Chains A and B, each alone.
Chain A
Amino acid sequence: MQSTDQTVQLSYQSDFEKFEQGLNGEKSTPRHALRRRAFSKFMEMGFPTSRHEEWRFTNIQPVTKTHFQPVPANQAVSISLADLESVMLKDVIRVVIVDGYFSSALSDLKDLPAGVVGESLAAALKQNRPEALIHLGAYTDSSENGFTALHAAFSLDGVFLFVPGHTIVEKPIQVIYSATKRNDPFVAYPRSLFIAGDAAQVKIVETYFGPGGQAYLTNAVSEVVLGTHAVVEHDRIQLEGENAFHVNTSSVYQQAGSAYRSNCITLGGLLVRNTLAARLDAEGIECRLNGLSIAHGNQLIDNHTLLDHIKPNCSSHQVYKAILDGKARGVFNGKIMVHKDAQKTDAKQTNKTLLLSDDAVIDTKPQLEIFADDVKCTHGATVGQLDAEHIFYLRARGLDESEARDMLTYAFAGEVVGSIGIPELREQIDLQIHSRLDRGRKGAV
């Protein structure tokens, strides 16, 4: 007899066959050969299990035992901007991706400076944009695991952004990935490629958003490429629905003297796995990775990061925080790899977890692999509860207990939120955090 997982795997196979038929003429292209290869890789590997070192603490059975159907092109449910009201930023250049497909109707790119390309990724590939062809998939290994393999097999669209050298995009670019309401569980495979040319500057906000009761999976891949001396702020705010699964693979590639800052805020989803890898492949690079996860109920949020110090004289600074309530679980695995060549690396990693209930659990694992001898690498992890003395101090000045707890909990989160360089986004996140702390306290899922 077959296990459920295998049955599900076979459903993916028939999905893939149907998917291929829908591709018509594209079937004979070299790109499609890559899809086929990725799919057979998936059939060979299956989904990761807790026997895989990288997935040891994250039981993904809830994802693998459900058959999530791919959404065929042009069958995205139509939604309107009003549906996105709660997550839309006002003063931005907006891209909307619905169930994995770029929506021209909902996107608003008119404020893009001259020379900057922002369009559907499918369109960019169709036109053979050289930057898209060079970089797409160059930094993400599709055979990494079952999710990346499936993504490579099924993904058709997303956003392509190219900021030419020496161009500064003043307005932030917000990419909203929205899931819709459907009868059956479905999966969206958005893929995005962001390229900042030499000395270019841009702020990118990726917002993930979906309906409450719907069971769906977002299997997303984003790649960010920084030319020499490029400066990129990359904020991610994940507000998936409470029955959603979210598997995100983000890869960052940095060239000399570039500065990258990621603020990864995870609030939504039932089971979430974020994999973020930054490759510091030249000298004088700065990389900052900030993370904040807030979970309650039965949420599981897993953050795996890799800081890959390949060349000398680079610095990385990482602060990942989690606030866990109810029966929530958090996983943090932060790997810092310092290659033999990467002398004078300055890497600092901090992981802090605040447990608001006795049933919440965090598994944290720093992983330093250092092959150079003249480096400064530090890491520290703390797990704790709110400090009783702090609570008493606030109460003794007149705040009631829940107000005191909220203020302290919010203060814990503040360091990460504060490093977001877009005031409007900070405000939006503040609101989201406060409403979630509220819900957590009331014991809702």
Chain B
Amino acid sequence: MSLLEIKNLRAEVNGNEILRGINLTVNLGEIHAIMGPNGSGKSTLAGVLAGRDAYTVTEGDVLYRGKDLFSLNPEERAREGLFLAFQYPVEIPGVNNSYFLKAALNAVRKYRGLEELDAMDFLKLIKSKLKLIEMDESFLNRPVNEGFSGGEKKRNEIFHMAVLDPVLSILDETDSGLDIDALRIVADGVNKLRSKENASIIVTHYQRLLNYIIPDVVHVLVDGRIVKSGTKDLAVELESRGYDWVKEETAQAV
């Protein structure tokens, strides 16, 4: 059984069809990259998977760990190990970062039948995860993302990911806004978390990140469809040639 099976997924927002028949299968242990020009529907796909309610699914099925994904609400998906690193992480004034993360982790653990962590064990855990992505402890006691720089927000997303230990992570443009050092640290973190027990979908429109996180498959999303899939070399080719040639190829194919 595959971890994630997306079959002919169509979704619209305010009556505009954005996803127009997506097919994608992800197995445990794999890293998939989804690339594509701005506006092609990458974040829409990520949002539909995480349960953002701005989108209406009009057709298709998604099986996640053998379950109908759409029968689960966002928190159930999270507890089932699905994690979305937001393209634009929101600032949440007044909600302390570590307080929130503790509530989230315990919600996930409870669902999985694990004991809730007490303050001491939690602190130990988050300190080790902070180290993994070289984040300063001061970020723990600040309100979630409030006043964080663009790069700090992205790093905080990966920090949350490291603590929650997801099965399927979807990283939506986590590389944008990161300078080269931060990019390497984040990529190192993701690589260290990589295992046979989990999988990732990495959404990006630069191949930069893929120099550090080597994907098993690269997909090109154009106008709401995956028009081409290949190896890491496809990403390199896209970087040098742009997206137009893929678009032309598919136009001819239709």
Give the interface of A toward B (CB within 8 A). 387, 389-390, 392-401, 403, 407-408, 410-412, 414-415
**Which of B90, B160, B164 has the largest number of chain A CB atoms within 10 A?**
B90
Count of chain B residues near A, Cβ 8 A: 31
Is the Cβ of A411 less than 8 Å from the Cβ of B94?
Answer: yes
Chain A residues with Cβ below 8 Å from B160 are 397
For A413, give the chain B residue with the smallest CB separation.
B94
Of B78, B79, B111, the most chain A CB neighbours within 10 A belong to B78
Q: Does B140 contact A (CB under 8 A)?
A: no
Closest residue of chain B to A407 (Cβ to Cβ) is B95
**Given A390-B92, A400-B75, list of 12 further CB < 8 A pairs?**
A390-B90, A392-B52, A393-B89, A394-B92, A394-B100, A395-B78, A396-B51, A397-B160, A398-B78, A398-B105, A399-B104, A411-B92
* Binary per-residue interface labels of chain B (31-66) against chain A in the complex, 1 for a CB within 8 Å, 0 otherwise: 000000000000000000011110000000000000
- Shortest Cβ gap from A337 to chain B (Å): 31
Q: Is B74 an interface residue (CB 8 A)?
A: yes
B94/A397 in contact, CB under 8 A = no
Please give, as numbers and ranges, the residues of chain B lying within 8 Å of A387 by CB-CB distance. Answer: 90
In the complex, are the beta carbons of A395 and B74 less than 8 A apart?
yes
Contact partners of A393 in chain B: CB under 8 A: 86, 89-90, 92, 144
Q: Which residues of A contact B78 (CB under 8 A)?
A: 395-398
B80-115 contact mask (Cβ, 8 Å, vs A): 1 or 0:
000110100110111100001101110110010000
Expressed in whole angstroms, the Cα–Cα distance for A395 and B111 within the complex equals 14
Instruction: Give B227 Cβ to nearest chain A Cβ, in Å.
Output: 28
Answer whether residue B211 sits at the interface, using C-beta atoms and an 8 A cutoff. no
Give Cα A412 to B95, complex, Å. Answer: 9
Given contacts A390-B92, A408-B95, contact A396 B107 (CB under 8 A): no
The answer for the CA separation of A414 and B146 in the assembled complex, in Å, is: 15
Question: Assuming the A-B contacts A390-B90, A392-B52, A392-B53, are A397 and B104 also in contact, with contact meaning beta carbons closer than 8 angstroms in the complex?
Answer: yes
- Contact (Cβ within 8 A) A398 B52: no
Residue B73 at the chain A interface, CB threshold 8 Å: yes
By the criterion CB–CB under 8 Å, are B107 and A398 in contact? yes
Q: Min CB distance, B105 to chain A, in Å? A: 8
Known: A390-B90, A393-B92, A397-B160. A407 touches B74 (CB 8 A): no
Partner pick for B73 among A395, A407, A410, A414, CB 8 A cutoff: A395
Q: Give Cα distance in the complex from A408 to B79, angstroms.
A: 20
- Given A392-B74, A407-B100: A398 touches B79 (CB 8 Å cut-off): yes
